[in-house]
Amino acid sequence: MQQIEPTNLCESCKKQVACYNQGIYEQKTCIEYEELSIGDLLNRDRFVQDVMAGACPNCGGENTYDCENNLLLEDNTVAHCLDCETYWCLECGYKIETIEKGTECPHWDICSQCSLEHGYLALPTLINITCPGCNHYNEGCRLEDPSQCEFMCPYDGIISECPKIEEFLESKE
């Protein structure tokens, strides 16, 4: 059976991109659309939450969600446990004690300072401005391991392994 990539799926029925080719996307739903039962919807939503936030690091509860749609935080890198009211950073695991509008994990300040010290660039700047002039660029990055780019933090995507973040977390224990 052919592997289906998420980018090849119809937005209405979540089936092959053939729906787009047939002009079905202009309709509310395509003929392949199958409405999910309430039970299936709940199972799907629970699965997404488990993948996005996971179990609470404080109580182990699974009644958690990421705060992307939380009106106070609007941050998908912070999670909230409804069982024990713990908030924590999904990137580094730091438990956030005080929640106010716009609160974010203190590791972002560490990352910002480190970026200034080492000249690391934000991804949009890197991709749109720096990469096209790089010797390793030819219609995309040609580095064997793009994380080895001198303008990109080597811990991008694996923040919890950064020595500065590890030191910060240890100081908070």
For position 45, what pLDDT does the model report?
Answer: 66
Residue 132 to residue 138: CA distance in whole angstroms: 7
pTM of the full predicted structure? 0.64
For position 18, what pLDDT does the model report?
Answer: 52
For position 5, what pLDDT does the model report?
Answer: 44
For position 1, what pLDDT does the model report?
Answer: 33
User: How many other CB atoms are there within 10 angstroms of residue 119's CB atom?
Assistant: 8
Nearest to 147 by CA among 136, 139, 138: 136
| Per-residue pLDDT tens listing for the chain (173 residues) | 334 344 445 555 554 445 445 554 444 455 555 566 777 767 766 666 666 788 999 999 988 888 888 888 888 889 999 999 999 999 999 999 988 898 989 999 999 999 899 988 877 677 777 788 888 777 777 777 777 788 888 888 888 899 999 999 999 87
CA 77 to chain CA mean position, Å: 7
For position 50, what pLDDT does the model report?
Answer: 62
38: helix, strand or coil: helix
